[in-house]
Amino acid sequence: ALLGAAALLAAGMLRRPEAAPEAAPGDAFSAERALRHVREIARAPRPLGSAEHRRVRAHLVRELTGLGLTCEVQRATVVDESDGMRPGATVRIAADVANVVAVLPGAEGASRRPAVVLVAHYDTVPASPGANDNAVAVAALLETARALAGSRGKLANDVVFLFTDAEEIGQLGARAFVERHELRERIGVVLNFEARGSRGPALMFETGRNARAAYRHLERAAAHQYTSSLFREVYKRMPNATDFSAFERAGAPGFNFAHIGGYTHYHSASDTPEAVEPQTLQHHGSYALTLARRLGEADLAALRGAEGEETVFFTLPTGRLVRYPARWTVPLAAATAVVWLAALALLVRGRALDAGITALGAAAALLP
């Protein structure tokens, strides 16, 4: 019975919003509308410098300009030296990158305040059309920009839509933006959207520095939120990086989202538009649109200046986000152990449990 209840809770916890149809209200996010962009973008692989890469960039500029957003292409030459995620190795990369940067202007004075920055990379690895990695995220931001276009001049803060280049070869486009773009001094909060699979819920798996004050916006903005600081700890130990890393190093608060189900399609020729789950796309869009609206009215300077104490967080099966300072972890663990030991003692005293079996079970739990 307990296992069945746990399974039901887990199933409920992983529910995603239903994919909204083409006829959804104009100010709402529609996965069906966004899928049109996925099909247009993910026709073929679009590695840096390819004809498809240029075609998709032109599509982004055309769509964003058509929405009335201020749009530009940031061009830069970036040189990077790293271990290429192989300890002991030295890998040097140089590339000419082209980021697409669009701004939805906020109310009067917004240009002097920090901005909300939504990020998705538009390049792919050479062998994959990248419908999930990362056309889903790109399409989610395009549909979010469309839904927000009517808010031009109304939100307290500017909303920046950043489509980065050269993520797949070392997050070079994100570096170019953080290090050289004129908006780099106005990064108030960052929402990065990624993929490492083809289905499942969008998980918030990484936070930027000083993100403690931003959690309340995540908790109140998204109805289907799935996150845990455990995701972050696992991710930190994997040989991976995303564009979010460049912003995190710059000290920007924010959140990194990705879906990870259906891993076999990741970086493969099978990552086509047919492999995209509309509900997954809707989930990304739900985060992007609701958080852009909420953070668009927030005091982002306060978020950036908030105390950077490490936080433990996780989502309950009810969907509520629980968070507390990491320094509480040991006291809470100790208190939990005391409660369990007291409960066991009462059960043994009441002969509900056999003392010998209980002792053997406890000893077995201590074995490596």
- Residue pLDDT, tens place only, 110-164: 999 999 999 999 999 999 999 999 999 999 999 999 999 999 999 999 999 999 9
Q: What is the C-alpha separation between 219 and 314, in angstroms, rounded?
A: 11
Give the pLDDT confidence score for residue 11 in this predicted structure. Answer: 42
pLDDT at site 102: 99
Give the pLDDT confidence score for residue 75 in this predicted structure. 98
Q: Cα 270 vs. chain centroid, distance in angstroms? A: 23
Instruction: Work out the average pLDDT over 308-330.
Output: 66
HSE at residue 52, side-chain half, CA atoms within 13 A, is 18
Q: What is the mean pLDDT of residues 274-303?
A: 95
Q: Which of 72-76, 200-204, 238-242 has the highest mean pLDDT?
A: 72-76
Q: What superfamily would CATH give domain 14-317? A: Zn peptidases (3.40.630.10)
Give the model's confidence band at 367: pLDDT under 50 very low, under 70 low, under 90 confident, else very high. very low
**Which pLDDT score is estimated for 360?**
47
Question: What are the beta bridge partners of residue 161?
Answer: 102, 118
Nearest to 164, CA basis, from 96, 115, 97: 97
pLDDT band at 285 (very low <50, low <70, confident <90, very high): very high
Provide mean pLDDT across the span 171-183: 98
CA-CA distance, 298 to 214, in Å (whole number)?
10
Whole-angstrom Cα distance, residue 26 to residue 337?
A: 52
Q: Which two tokens stand for residue 245?
A: 């890393």
pLDDT at 87: 72
**Tens of pLDDT, residues 42-88:** 999 999 999 999 999 999 999 999 999 999 999 999 998 876 666 77
Q: Is the pLDDT of residue 226 over 80?
A: no
Query: Domain residue spans in the chain?
Result: 14-317, 327-366
**Percentage of residues in the chain having pLDDT higher than 90:** 62
**What pTM, to 2 d.p., does this model score?**
0.84
Which range has the worst mean pLDDT, 207-221, 225-239, 275-289, 323-337? 225-239
pLDDT at 169: 94
How high is the pLDDT of residue 138?
Answer: 99
Residue 257 is predicted with a pLDDT of 96
233 alpha carbon, distance to own chain's centre: 15
d(CA 80, CA 92): 6
SS (H, E, C) the chain: CHHHHHHHHHHHHCCCCCCCCCCCCCCCCCHHHHHHHHHHHCCCCCCCCCHHHHHHHHHHHHHHHHCCCEEEEEEEEEEEEECCCCCCCCEEEEEEEEEEEEEECCCCCHHHCCEEEEEEECCCCCCCCCHHHHHHHHHHHHHHHHHHHHHCCCCCCCEEEEEECCCCCCCHHHHHHHHHCHHHHHEEEEEEEEECCCECCCEEEEECCCCHHHHHHHHHHCCCCEEEHHHHHHHHCCCCCCCHHHHHHCCCCEEEEEECECHHHCCCCCCCHHHCCHHHHHHHHHHHHHHHHHHCCCCHHHHHCCCCCCEEEEECCCCCEEEEEHHHHHHHHHHHHHHHHHHHHHHHHCCCCCHHHHHHHHHHHHCC
- The mean pLDDT of 25-33, rounded to a whole number, is 97
> Contact, 142 vs 34, CB < 8 A?
yes
Average pLDDT, the chain: 85
Q: Is a pLDDT exceeding 70 seen at residue 100?
A: yes
Least confident of 7-11, 93-97, 150-154: 7-11
Residue 105 in this model has a pLDDT that exceeds 60: yes
- Which of 144-148, 245-249, 274-278 shows the lowest per-residue confidence on average (mean pLDDT)? 245-249
Per-residue model confidence (pLDDT) at position 307: 56
Place of tokens 């746990």: 6
Query: Residue 10: what pLDDT?
Result: 44
